[in-house]
A and B are shown apart, each in its own frame.
Chain A
Amino acid sequence: MYKKAFRAAFPHTVPVLTGYLFIGIAFGVMFQEKGYHFLWAVLMSILVYAGSGQYLAVQFFAPGVRFIDMIFMTFMVNVRHIFYGLSLLERFGRMGKKRLYMIFSLTDETYSLFFVTKVPKDVPEDKFLFAIAVLDQFYWVLGSAIGALAGAVLPFRAEGIDFAMTALFLVIFVEQWLAGGNRIPAVIGLVFAGVLRLVAGSDSFILPSMICIMICLIWGRRYIEQERREGEDDNAG
């Protein structure tokens, strides 16, 4: 049954495969340059599993960095993840023993895939989601290992390949836009993050953005839910 789930999940994860392999490689190269054996990079990608979080953490491996600063900086870089679980409370609640791993695996990309990918009718939802999560982390660990082992001698220039991740989010955004229904939340996310990026700067706009987005969604609930219903009626008709 798992074989079938992995087979069904694989095509959906190919964009993440491209992106993770290469940002994983970039991480591996950076970490290895600090003088670490490649297994250290693998260990970190297995235990931590966070793109921007691990890029940041490479700087922690230097004398004199205080643990309290590491904790604070890591928290701030990952703060957006706090809100991801809110959309998955019920789905993960049905996943039994796999639940803990599913929570651990909630990266931007995996979360986004959960949200847009339709579970095939002949595969149980829990196994399908689990397959996506495991495949994504496998790409990440693999990329880290390659980067740490051979990054310096890779034969071609990969600069810009991380755009695959941006393209994935763009595609997901277009898909949800074309799906009809309510487009207000999508616009709220784009506009608030855009404006706050200009106001607060690239390092510190995510937390204020998330807070503004939440407030705005809660405030506009009556209006948004009404629109949702109308949107769903449109789909039905």
Chain B
Amino acid sequence: MPVSAGRSFLIIVVVAAVTFFTRVIPFLIFPKGKEIPPKVLYLGKVLPPAIIGMLIIYCFRNVNFLAGSHGAAELIAAGVVVVLHIWKRNNLLSIGVGTVLYMWLVQAVF
């Protein structure tokens, strides 16, 4: 262990507290029983699809499309997931095939 057990424990507690804090903020601002302004209710409804879009970009954030294999493995696997899902609408099938394909691409092809 590079630092003492006491310090290690303290680090975990601090990281846990900060992480929880980011998740609890909206619930502190709008506690139970307090009326939620219509603007916030509206945001609550339209944010999830926007955040899912952002999370897709977040997953690809470290892919370099300009060098190396130009993100070919990511683009191929993502394309297969999307097409397969539009075709079959089966979550596990789309995710399973896409993941196995991607693993094969990064391990054996690129």
Residues of A whose CB lies within 8 Å of any CB of B are 14-15, 18, 34-36, 40, 43-44, 47-50, 53-54, 57, 60-63, 67, 70-71, 74-75, 78-90, 92-93, 99, 103-104, 106, 108, 111-112, 115, 157-161, 163-176, 178, 182-183, 185-194, 197, 202, 205-206, 209-210, 213-214, 217-218, 221, 224-225, 228
Nearest residue in B to A201 (C-beta to C-beta)? B61
- Is A163 a contact partner of B103 (Cβ separation < 8 A)? yes
Tell me the B41-76 residues at the A interface (CB within 8 Å). 41-62, 73-74
- Is A170 a contact partner of B39 (Cβ separation < 8 A)? no
Nearest residue in B to A12 (C-beta to C-beta)? B91
- Is A163 a contact partner of B57 (Cβ separation < 8 A)? no
Task: List the A side residues contacting B57 at CB < 8 Å.
Answer: 190, 193-194, 197, 209
- Is A214 a contact partner of B43 (Cβ separation < 8 A)? yes
- Is A167 a contact partner of B95 (Cβ separation < 8 A)? yes
Task: List the B side residues contacting A165 at CB < 8 Å.
Answer: 59
- Is A189 a contact partner of B98 (Cβ separation < 8 A)? no
- Is A89 a contact partner of B50 (Cβ separation < 8 A)? no
In Å, the complex CA distance between A103 and B22 comes to 10
In Å, the complex CA distance between A237 and B5 comes to 63
Nearest residue in B to A224 (C-beta to C-beta)? B46
In Å, the complex CA distance between A87 and B101 comes to 34
10 closest Cβ pairs, A-B complex: A189-B53, A189-B50, A85-B26, A190-B53, A193-B57, A193-B54, A160-B103, A166-B59, A163-B102, A186-B49
Within 8 Å by CB of A57, from B15, B52, B59, lies: B15
* Known pairs A79-B22, A167-B98; A185 contacts B103 (CB<8 A): no
Interface centre among B10, B11, B53, B106, by most chain A C-beta atoms within 10 angstroms, is B53
